[in-house]
């Protein structure tokens, strides 16, 4: 009975933190970016439907269909390059009527599911490890060439989480680390010009204050100007006068800090902290090794996403397109995160 109570409590806490984060995000979006409505409400409605569907599917069913979901994910990523909509030089979205879907966000949970199953269903040797990396780099490459660097980095971190939660021998981690260090210099030459510019201006935004360094400078001004209580909803200078770019997605934390102050920003961070502590409970109570590896991958992705988003809003990291989970506008990110979390809720041990 106590075990059942704790499990139900963890489900309740997880759902409540998500509801509160989405609610705060909706209020701040109504203030700084009213043009995202009513589309944002449509995505929330779809997310609720997906949550009720995926949170009622047994983990064993997910496990069985993992290879098929992997194939579907690859097809979705390929279809993006073929029929996707070109926006700002990138091909990331597929228009579906009034909404647009970014398959790399939605398919990420299914990729982690398959990788978690593959790495845990049999003993890992060198041959199987090489095949595992090939199976990962195929979708990873399709995401990189869109290009979507932020999503690619998060997907790689999710893969790392799957590896860390598995029983793979540590010597294989050293092999993987050696491969990564060997190819790391080549990554710089794979970056687009604007991506290289973001890295360079991160070191000193003042070198190009009206160009590549503009976003970082305006974000820091927004965070600092909110002080403790904030300027109030609809009263932010940076947000309301459009000095802060992408205030509804990449820089929503800076918008919260300006309009709701340290108090509002602190509340968001506290809710995210409770959310991650609850996810750790699911990692520790997973019903099998594959469930634990999958949950660890989801945990690491969302944790890294939060740290990167907050960090780039405070000039701790280079600017990249990473939304704040459950708070930023962005239907595909919301749907993908809800799918992943609802699947995690099915990984708990049975009584």
pLDDT band, residue 183 (cuts 50/70/90): low
pLDDT for position 94 = 81
DSSP 238-266: HHHTT-STTTTTTTHHHHHHHHHHHHHHH
Best-predicted range by mean pLDDT among 6-10, 205-209, 312-316?
Answer: 312-316
Residue 23: domain span: 2-344
- Asked if the structure places residue 350 within a domain, the reply is no
In terms of pLDDT, which residue wins out, 196 or 335? Answer: 335
How does pLDDT run across 265-302, given as a tens digit for each residue? Answer: 999 999 999 999 999 999 988 999 999 999 999 999 99
**Cα–Cα distance between 171 and 157 in angstroms, integer?**
19
Whether omega for the bond prior to residue 38 falls within 30 degrees of 0, making it cis, is: yes
- Asked if the structure places residue 62 within a domain, the reply is yes
How does pLDDT run across 213-236, given as a tens digit for each residue? Answer: 667 777 778 877 778 888 888 888
**Cα–Cα distance between 134 and 52 in angstroms, integer?**
34
Helix (H) or strand (E) holding 96, with range, is strand 90-96
Q: Mean pLDDT, to the nearest integer, of 142-167?
A: 86
pLDDT band, residue 5 (cuts 50/70/90): very low
pLDDT for position 203 = 53
With a CB cutoff of 8 Å and minimum separation 6, the contacts of 23 are none
pLDDT for position 306 = 95
**Cα–Cα distance between 58 and 345 in angstroms, integer?**
10
pLDDT for position 282 = 94
Closest CA to 29 of 334, 345, 328, 333: 328
In terms of pLDDT, which residue wins out, 205 or 97? Answer: 97
Distance of CA 339 to the CA centre of its chain: 12
Q: Where are the alpha helices (DSSP H) in the chain?
A: 2-32, 39-54, 59-83, 103-106, 108-121, 126-144, 149-165, 170-190, 193-203, 214-225, 237-240, 252-284, 289-313, 331-344
- Asked if the structure places residue 351 within a domain, the reply is no
**Cα–Cα distance between 244 and 242 in angstroms, integer?**
5
**86 phi/psi in degrees, rounded to 5:** -80, 120
pLDDT for position 24 = 95
With a CB cutoff of 8 Å and minimum separation 6, the contacts of 161 are 112, 293, 296, 297, 298, 299, 300, 301
**Strand 99-101's sheet: what is its strand order?**
85-87, 90-96, 99-101
**Cα–Cα distance between 264 and 28 in angstroms, integer?**
10
The secondary structure of residue 191, as a DSSP letter, is S
Per the CB < 8 A criterion, the answer to whether 323 and 250 are in contact is yes
Structure tokens at 163: 């590896």
Q: How many domains does the chain have?
A: 1
Worst-scoring range by mean pLDDT, 47-51, 126-130, 195-199, 236-240? 195-199
Coil, strand or helix: which one is 92? strand
pLDDT band, residue 1 (cuts 50/70/90): very low
- Asked if the structure places residue 349 within a domain, the reply is no
End-to-end CA distance of the chain: 9
Measured from the Cβ of residue 304, the count of other Cβ atoms closer than 10 Å reads 19
Is the pTM higher than 0.85? The answer reads yes
> Residue 330 above 50 pLDDT?
yes
pLDDT for position 146 = 80
**Cα–Cα distance between 136 and 336 in angstroms, integer?**
18
pLDDT band, residue 176 (cuts 50/70/90): low
Which residues, in sequence order, are bridge partners of residue 93?
85
């Amino acid at each position: 009975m106590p075990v059942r109570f704790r499990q139900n409590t963890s489900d309740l806490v997880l759902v409540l933190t998500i509801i509160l984060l989405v609610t705060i995000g909706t209020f701040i979006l109504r203030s700084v970016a009213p043009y995202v409505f009513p589309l944002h409400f449509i995505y929330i409605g779809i997310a609720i439907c997906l949550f009720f569907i995926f949170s009622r599917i047994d983990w064993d069913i997910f496990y069985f269909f993992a290879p098929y979901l992997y194939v579907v994910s690859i097809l979705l990523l390929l279809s993006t390059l073929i029929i996707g909509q070109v926006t700002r030089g990138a091909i990331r979205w597929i228009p579906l009527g009034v909404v647009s879907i970014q398959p790399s966000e939605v398919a990420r949970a299914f990729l982690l599911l398959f990788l978690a199953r593959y790495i845990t269903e049999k003993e890992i040797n060198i041959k199987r490890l090489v095949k595992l990396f090939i199976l990962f780099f195929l979708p990873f490459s399709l995401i990189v060439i869109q290009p979507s660097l932020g999503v690619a980095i998060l997907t790689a971190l999710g893969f790392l989480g799957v590896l860390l939660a598995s029983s793979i021998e540590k010597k294989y981690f050293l092999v993987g680390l050696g491969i990564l260090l060997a190819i790391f210099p080549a990554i710089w030459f794979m970056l687009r010009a604007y991506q290289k510019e973001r890295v360079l201006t991160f070191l000193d935004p003042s070198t190009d204050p009206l160009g590549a360094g503009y976003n970082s400078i305006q974000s820091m001004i927004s965070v600092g100007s909110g002080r403790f209580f904030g300027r109030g909803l609809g009263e932010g200078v940076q947000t309301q006068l459009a000095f802060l770019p992408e205030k509804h997605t990449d820089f929503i934390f800076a918008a919260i800090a300006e309009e709701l102050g340290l108090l509002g920003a602190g509340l968001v961070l506290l809710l995210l902290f409770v959310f991650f502590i609850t996810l750790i409970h699911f990692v520790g109570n997973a019903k099998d090794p594959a469930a634990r590896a999958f949950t660890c991958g989801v945990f690491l992705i969302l944790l890294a996403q939060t740290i990167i988003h907050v960090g780039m809003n405070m000039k701790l990291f280079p600017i990249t397109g990473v939304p704040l989970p459950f708070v930023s506008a962005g239907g595909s990110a919301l749907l993908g995160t809800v799918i992943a979390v609802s699947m995690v809720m099915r990984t708990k041990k049975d009584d």
